[in-house]
Amino acid sequence: MISPLKIAVAGLGTVGGGVVKALTARRLDLTERAGRELDIVAVSARDANKARGFAHTNWTADPLALVKTDADVIVELIGGDEGIARQLVEAALESGKHVVTANKALLAKHGKALAVKAEKNNLQLKFEAAVAGGIPIVKALRESLISHGIHSVKGILNGTCNYILTEMEASGRSFAAVLKEAQAKGYAEADPTLDVGGGDTAHKLALLSTLAFGIAPDLGAMRVVGIEQITPADIHFASEFGFRIKLLGVSRRSHDAGQGWVIEQVVHPAMVRARSPLANVDGAANGVVVDAGEAGPYFFSGRGAGEAPTASAVVSDLVEIAQGSFTQVFGRPAARLAKLNAAGAGATQSAWYLRFEVLDAPGVLAEIAGQLSQTGVSIESMIQRGRAPSESVTIVMITHETAGAAVERALKAIAASDKVRARPCMIPMEAA
């Protein structure tokens, strides 16, 4: 039999521990699948004495020391887009070692440069675990759905946000109340900003965009809106219109007469039809819809985080390396990844859900409708709730399809009115 694939694991948290356990518990089966043994020759973690449920092998506190071992592959599970994680991945690739990582932040920021380095040295840089946990979406976009090209990718990519929105809908409680509960249960971090602000979804979307469209990861060109401003009222009204609210990462290609093909990348809360596949991804699950042109739409769903699903993705990458398969990091030569030709700000074409908190006074509705009309926004349907002179009432509208920039201009003017008591809410209606 071929000599074993020697593996060093940096980071023994939830995922790293899961990888070690999986490689140990399923050693014989994985050896058969890989055609060679998968041996852990070294591990790195900050605390050697922490109980983890497995024995340590050649432990070191310094992750960079793993590069000096005889490992063939470094598994980087430290996290972070700079610091020791970046140093370790770069050092591994410079030392002739393959890399498997779950670090979406690192790849979203430095993915092209790292991929160029890997391919120049005939090394593998694999990252199935970096996007949507155990869902094999990276492999699907890189290798499977390539014959007719990709038109769009959209997905629920953050389990924390999906859990919060699902619980808000089920219980009628506020964002703040459900977030506090999620933190108590361990579903949300003590500092949840990266999750609820959309940053985590943005990192993952940048990688999906690169795989789908052959562009270098570009976070700077991405519009990112989180879920902090979503209210129980928005969720209730969405249900009345036959929709559910989900935080989506969306990347799509469209033709602009002046620029040719452009790519729009956006992370935002969106209303999706209640009977669509994405609308029925609940709790901490993830889901991705890919429009592969003539090949048709494809829907992927599953657990997007946690020990077992994420470790499963890491182990899958390790088995492929052990088998000797070679794939370009992003499915095409990394040096040729194109600079993003980004769609303009506010380019999203959609119907829009609009919510206004206004004084119940004569002329308010006419003023709102007039401002919308001036920017070319037409109204498809409307709901007004409450009747309370001198107090706030809620007006909800659904527009016909129009560019987001036109709606934003109207809302800016409407928000300046002394009859408007809160910042208007604007949510796109995504066909999903």
Angle between helices 27-34 and 14-25 (to 10 degrees): 80
**Residue 291 in domain:** yes
Per-residue model confidence as pLDDT tens digits over 39-58: 999 999 887 777 677 777 78
Number of helices (H) and strands (E) in the chain: give both, helices first: 13, 17
Identify the sign of the CA torsion 354, 343, 298, 292. positive
Q: Which of 97, 139, 204, 246 is catalytic?
A: 204
**Residue 316 in domain:** no
Shared domain for 44 and 85, answered yes or no, is: yes
Shared domain for 288 and 355, answered yes or no, is: no
- Residue 117 burial (10 A CB sphere; 0-12, 13-18, 19+): buried
Shared domain for 280 and 355, answered yes or no, is: no
How would DSSP label each residue in 349-389? EEEEEEEEEEEB-TTHHHHHHHHHHHTT--EEEEEEE---B
Q: For all residues of the chain together, what is the average pLDDT?
A: 91
Instruction: Print the domain residue range for 380.
Output: 349-430
**Residue 344 in domain:** no
Shared domain for 298 and 181, answered yes or no, is: yes
Shared domain for 153 and 255, answered yes or no, is: yes
**Residue 343 in domain:** no
The pLDDT of residue 257 is above 60: no
Confidence class of residue 236 from pLDDT cuts 50, 70 and 90? very high
Confidence class of residue 193 from pLDDT cuts 50, 70 and 90? very high
What is the domain-level CATH number for residue 386? Answer: 3.30.70.260
Shared domain for 149 and 289, answered yes or no, is: yes
What is the domain-level CATH number for residue 270? Answer: 3.30.360.10
The reported pLDDT for the residue numbered 386 is 65
The pLDDT of residue 342 is above 90: no
Per-residue model confidence as pLDDT tens digits over 76-128: 999 999 999 999 999 999 999 999 999 999 999 999 999 999 999 999 999 99
Shared domain for 152 and 222, answered yes or no, is: yes
Shared domain for 120 and 150, answered yes or no, is: no
Shared domain for 102 and 171, answered yes or no, is: no
Shared domain for 53 and 128, answered yes or no, is: yes
The pLDDT of residue 168 is above 90: yes
**Residue 255 in domain:** yes
Q: Which residue shows structure tokens 């990266």?
A: 194
Pairwise CA distance, residues 303 & 366, whole Å: 47
Identify the sign of the CA torsion 218, 221, 226, 230. negative
CB 304 within 8 A of CB 155: no
> What would the 3-class secondary structure string for 261-283 be?
EEEEEEEEEEEEECCCCHHHCCC
Tally the domains of the chain: 3
**Residue 342 in domain:** no
**Residue 318 in domain:** no
Mean pLDDT of 404-408: 91
Measure the CA dihedral 267/271/276/280, to 10°: 80
**Residue 311 in domain:** no
Shared domain for 119 and 162, answered yes or no, is: no
What is the domain-level CATH number for residue 58? Answer: 3.40.50.720
Which of 36, 22, 20, 16 lies closest to 319, judged by CA? 36
Identify the sign of the CA torsion 15, 18, 24, 29. negative
Q: Residue 21 catalytic?
A: no
Confidence class of residue 3 from pLDDT cuts 50, 70 and 90? very high
The pLDDT of residue 215 is above 60: yes
Shared domain for 169 and 295, answered yes or no, is: yes
